[in-house]
Amino acid sequence: MAHGHSKKKPEQGGLIITSLIDIFTILMIFLIQNFSAEGSLCSNAENLTLPNSFSKKKLTEVPLQVVVTQDMILVDGTPVAPTTDATNIPQSDPNPTIAKLLQRLKDHYAQEEEMVRLGALNKVEGKLVIQMDKNISFDILFKVMNTCGQAGYLVMNFAVMQREEG
């Protein structure tokens, strides 16, 4: 035997992460394949039954949301006025306006105008989505739409449940 050469003991190996990386890669691929790319951009309000539609149009952005339930009108999830405010406006009124809703929408419109002035937005688009229970009367729908139009929101879309053709 050669003098001065001794067998080295194998060093204790550290944590071998190759297996862990493989597991994480497989998990990541699984999650990516199961991820829905067509997720809902607009969240449905509680206690609300949306009307059914065959419409294929999808939202590309999330604009301002107005929700009308049996007892409350909400703007972006914040209660604004009871639905009875709309019910109490006489049908003979030539320009039915829900005052509290109009004020809240004007405030949002002013915020959008300020964002345009600061350069955060290109222009005020005046878009909103109306979510309304399918059992709400047309009279209330008309008053909500009229109020939205008076506040400057002229592009109104309705949230609906997509029904399969068949």
DSSP assignment of 145-162 equals HHHHHHTT--EEEE--EE
What token pair was written down for 166? Answer: 């068949």
Max avg pLDDT among 21-30, 44-53, 58-67, 126-135 = 126-135
pLDDT mean over 64-86: 92
What token pair was written down for 162? Answer: 């997509």
What token pair was written down for 145? Answer: 């739409």
Task: Give residue-wise pLDDT tens across range 25-45.
Answer: 888 877 776 664 444 445 555
**Would the pLDDT of 58 be above 70?**
no
Q: Which amino acid is at 138?
A: F
In the chain the domains, ranked by start, together with CATH numbers, are 52-162 (3.30.420)
Q: Could you give the CA distance from residue 162 to residue 37 in angstroms, rounded to a whole number?
A: 17
**Would the pLDDT of 56 be above 70?**
no
- Name the residue among 163, 24, 133, 114 with its Cα closest to residue 69: 133
pLDDT mean over 41-52: 55
- Write down the pTM of the prediction: 0.66
Q: Which amino acid is at 26?
A: I
Task: Give residue-wise pLDDT tens across range 143-162.
Answer: 999 999 999 999 988 876 66
pLDDT mean over 64-73: 91
